[in-house]
Structure 1
Amino acid sequence: MNSSIRWTYLKPREIVSELLKKGYSVSRNIVRYLLKKHEYVKRKAQKNITMGGHPDRNAQFENITQLKQDYLDAGNPVISMDTKKKELLGTFYRNGSLYRQAAIQTNDHDFPSSATGSVIPHGFYDLKRNTGYITLGTSHDTSEFACDS
């Protein structure tokens, strides 16, 4: 064991098992107590370490903003296109809630092999007309998908 490590993925029962292998007999309650006493709690990673930005980042966005305005002033279309993450189709869990009379039953795991397929949303937005379209498709080739849309 490395004493400099200050975290673990192990659950209390797994810690008990590892300690038993080393000849120490301890209960899960004691492990839980010690974790709490030493202020070890379940935590998720937090994205808070900045990696810095490109020195020309602001200039890039200012240039894009100016070009966009020039095109709009000239009566030309300005479009925005994007393809989002694919979603598996099937009886998979989805975040959110809705009103129903009975619970929705879903698979306990989201294995791609259990999917009936996948869908990829592709969005197209015309800034001048304030009009957008969403196409749902199955192509993983973004440029092919965009052209087909």
Structure 2
Amino acid sequence: MNIYIANQLEKIVSEKYKSLKPFLDEQNKRLFAAAEAISLGEGGISIVSRATGISRDTISKGCKELESGIIGASGISIPDSKIRAPGGGRKKSVDKDPTLIPDLESLIEPTSRGDPESPLHWTSKSVRKLAEELKKMGHKVTHARVADVLHMLGYSLQANRKTIEGASHHDRDQQFNYIIEKCEEFQEEHQPVISVDKKKKELAGNFKSVGMELRPKKDPMNVNVYDFKDRELGKGNPYEVHDIANNEGWVNVGIDHDTASFAVESIRRWWNMMGCMSYPDAKKLLVTADCGRSNGSRVRLWKTELQKLELDWKFQFAISRQEQANGIK
């Protein structure tokens, strides 16, 4: 039987099986696969096995049952409405090994996290490492079985979540409300309000990045294997200027260091390229920023550069700062 005919037969059997599968129990699935294999003749068992996912041994067993006319194990009576003899089927790992669950739970959740007597550190919870430790304890188990048992126990793979905050200033809400009032005041007068922030540095060059794009099948974009910094291109320093009223963003990417001069120059370029068109009658500018990096509240160069910009534009600048724990400065 040539490959083309075998593939066509495999598709036909697969479509039949998918249509009937919801209505078949384990025994009828075996008999259906066996009947199809017998009708196909030589090589039929392999074709049906690939089409249905049923193992060759199971299909061979069904063929013997159809040829002999005896369903089930010989000499054993099967009760009505049952497809297996009493006690038939593979026993579950947790039934054969009653200490498996307690030992697994002792590994996944030690009495105290970081317990030096625990075979695993609290951060090492991959199913493969858990399976290795269980084997050392005398259990016959695979990583796939460990995953099944953990799922049965209600465990799932989870990342940590940022929910715990540090101490906050007692006037924090009042300070944030003040910023909101200032923003609304500027917006009512149709004056620009921007939020500025330095974003994560990115390597410049042909490097792997998160995400996907549409390309011809089996033709991925080839990138460097190692993420070593390119001496010529260096890193990209994105600095975002967000127009709050118009909900528009503008990003200036530099290839040098993240300095206060670069931050203020980013604001200057945003105004020259976008801001001046959105606010042709602007007389003042409100800048909201955090208190870190190049636009930090204690960075004198940031204040000096802003003063130069204010003199160049003849604008009135208002700066609102947002601190992570202490509110606003």
Q: Is the 8 A contact 2:201 2:237 kept in 1?
A: yes
Matched AA of 1:10:
K
**1:62 and 1:104, CA in 2 relative to 1: closer, same or farther beyond 3 A?**
same
Matched AA of 1:90:
G
Higher deviation after alignment, 86-95 or 121-130 = 121-130
**CA root-mean-square deviation:** 3.8
1:119 counterpart = 2:236:
yes
Identify the residue that residue 82 of structure 1 maps to in structure 2: 197
Residue 67 of structure 1 aligns to a residue whose secondary structure is helix
Match of 2:262 among 138, 145, 148: 145
Q: Is the 8 A contact 1:83 1:142 kept in 2?
A: no
Q: Is the 8 A contact 2:237 2:258 kept in 1?
A: no
Larger strand percent: 1
* Superposed displacement of residue 14, structure 1: 1.8
Where do 5+ consecutive residues of structure 1 fail to align?
none
In structure 2, how many angstroms separate the alpha carbons of the residues matched to 1:108 and 1:14? Answer: 27
Matched AA of 1:146:
A
Match of 2:210 among 79, 95, 99: 95
In structure 1, how many angstroms separate the alpha carbons of the residues matched to 2:262 and 2:208? Answer: 27
TM-score of the aligned structures, taking structure 1 as reference length: 0.65
In structure 2, how many angstroms separate the alpha carbons of the residues matched to 1:43 and 1:120? Answer: 32
In structure 1, how many angstroms separate the alpha carbons of the residues matched to 2:246 and 2:150? Answer: 59
Identify the residue that residue 105 of structure 1 maps to in structure 2: 222
Residue 122 of structure 1 aligns to a residue whose secondary structure is strand
Residue 41 of structure 1 aligns to a residue whose secondary structure is coil
Matched AA of 1:103:
P
* Superposed displacement of residue 61, structure 1: 2.3
TM-score of the aligned structures, taking structure 2 as reference length: 0.35
Cα-to-partner distance string for 1:43-100 (whole Å, 9 max, x where unaligned): 2223345667543222112222333455567786544332211112233333333332
Matched AA of 2:235:
S
1:4 counterpart = 2:121:
no
Identify the residue that residue 128 of structure 2 maps to in structure 1: 13
* Superposed displacement of residue 107, structure 1: 4.6
* Larger relative contact order (CA 8 Å, sep ≥ 6): 1
Where do 5+ consecutive residues of structure 2 fail to align?
1-105, 114-121, 267-329
Match of 1:26 among 132, 140, 149: 140
Identify the residue that residue 179 of structure 2 maps to in structure 1: 64
Matched AA of 2:221:
I
* Superposed displacement of residue 129, structure 1: 9.2
